[in-house]
Structure 1
Amino acid sequence: MEKSPCVKDLQKVLFGGKRFGNHVDEVSPGLFLGDMSAANDRYMVWKLGVTHVLNAAHGSRCSEGNRHYYGDGVHYYGVPADDSPTFDLSPYFFPCAQFIHHALCTAGGKAAVLVHCAAGVSRSAALLLSYFMICHACTLMDAILKVKERRWIFPNKGFLKQLCALQVKLRQP
């Protein structure tokens, strides 16, 4: 079995490459990763065809979103995460992956999911990486490279450690 990369190796890969300045990017068909500016712009959310919003900064002052903010046509899931290396994001990996997967698989190809936090590079990126690992059997490195094709991300060190632990868990028979 091949050895998993350490957090320092992951950070080197994450730090490299072009840094995108968009508020929102489509990282795979119907799956958007964005910041609070994109999420708080209801017109932009509507224009993108977003049917589901996963807010990884729920309850923080930078995020206005909630169930009622977007109206009845948008399903909302809020994760009250702090962008701190000591915050345990791992209990949200499977529920968030399920939320994204269910949205993209049950709407006959007409769903679009916006995953966001304040800057769209750490909390939301970590949850999106866990989705690719859980639902698409990607390694953490493959998930990082997939997302980095479309958007610059940089989950904090604590989240990277939790994603490494998820990879170990997913590899267990």
Structure 2
Amino acid sequence: MSPEEEPEYQTPPTCELLGLLLKNRRPTGAVNEVWPNLYIGDAATAQHKSLLVDLGITHVVNAADGPQHICTGPHFYKDTSIQYHGVEAPDSKDFDLSPFFTETADFIHAALELKGKVLVHCARGVSRSATLALAFLMIRERLSLAEAVEAVRRHRNILPNVGFLNQLRHLDSSLAPERKTTQHQEGKK
């Protein structure tokens, strides 16, 4: 089948994504490696500096930054070599997390390029941090939203709130033509 004959990719509806996220759930720990050198974890993990050192974490993304949330920040890690990126985001379906997708994906990508290990965390490591990790996989690893969800779910139970899921669906739709062009060009090689 030529690329022109392939059915057009459709971003899955929210109910289908929720089905993917909720199927076969099993207990997951406080922190899990969800992609090579990319970890999702909770606040307690982020605040446990000796654990981070043991894991070899070089970069931390706090998706719940700020005084009303989990106040770690660069000052918290000043006695380590950890690089820090904070996103001040409430876990609210009405909060627009999408303006942070690209800058956070770029931060994670740069860390991985340097052979670093990245912890993305929020309070429980389920919604905000998962959303930013999924956005990274879509933007930088060129996975579709469904592929990104499947990849992360193999290692950790995640459940972005419905507002974040819809923002990821929008990102997926906007990246789909780019993915198709890339796949078409790779097929010609």
Using the size of structure 1 for normalisation, the TM-score is: 0.94
> 1:91 aligned to 2:96?
no
Partner of 2:120: 115
Partners of 1:79 and 1:143 in 2: CA distance: 21
Question: In structure 2, what residue type is equivalent to 1:134?
Answer: I
CA drift of 1:171 comes to 2.0
Q: Counterpart of 1:44 in structure 2: which amino acid?
A: L
Deviation per CA, 1:53-90: give whole Å up to 9, x if none.
00000015451310011125111000000100000000
Q: Contact 2:10 / 2:173 at 8 angstroms: preserved in 1? A: no
2:42 aligned with 1:35, yes or no? yes
Aligned identity (percent) is: 42
**2:77 is aligned with 1:70:** yes
Q: Provide the C-alpha distance between the structure 2 equivalents of 1:134 and 1:60, rounded to a whole number of angstroms.
A: 29
The count of aligned residue pairs is 170
**CA displacement at 1:19 relative to structure 2:** 2.8
Q: Does 1:164 align with 2:172?
A: no
> In structure 2, what residue type is equivalent to 1:118?
A
What is the alpha-carbon distance in structure 2 between the residues aligned to residue 67 and residue 171 of structure 1?
35
RMSD: 1.2
Tell me if 1:148 matches 2:153: yes
2:136 to 121, 131, 135: 131
Counterpart secondary structure, 1:4: coil
In the TM superposition, what is the alpha-carbon distance from 1:45 to its structure 2 partner? Answer: 1.0
Structure 2: where are the runs of 5+ without partners?
A: 1-7, 179-189
Shift of 1:42: 0.9
**Which residue of structure 1 lines up, in the alignment, with residue 60 of structure 2?**
53
Unpaired runs of 5+ residues, structure 1, are: none
Structure 2 residue matching 1:88: 3-state secondary structure: coil
1:134-171: per-residue Cα shift (whole Å, max 9, x none)? Answer: 00110000000000000000000000000000011112
**Cα-to-partner distance string for 1:82-139 (whole Å, 9 max, x where unaligned):** 100000000000000000000000x2x2x11000000001000000000000001100
1:18 deviates by 2.5
Runs of 4+ in 1 over 3 A off after TM superposition: none
Q: Which has the larger radius of gyration?
A: 2
Distance in 2 between residues matched to 1:60 and 1:89, nearest whole Å: 18
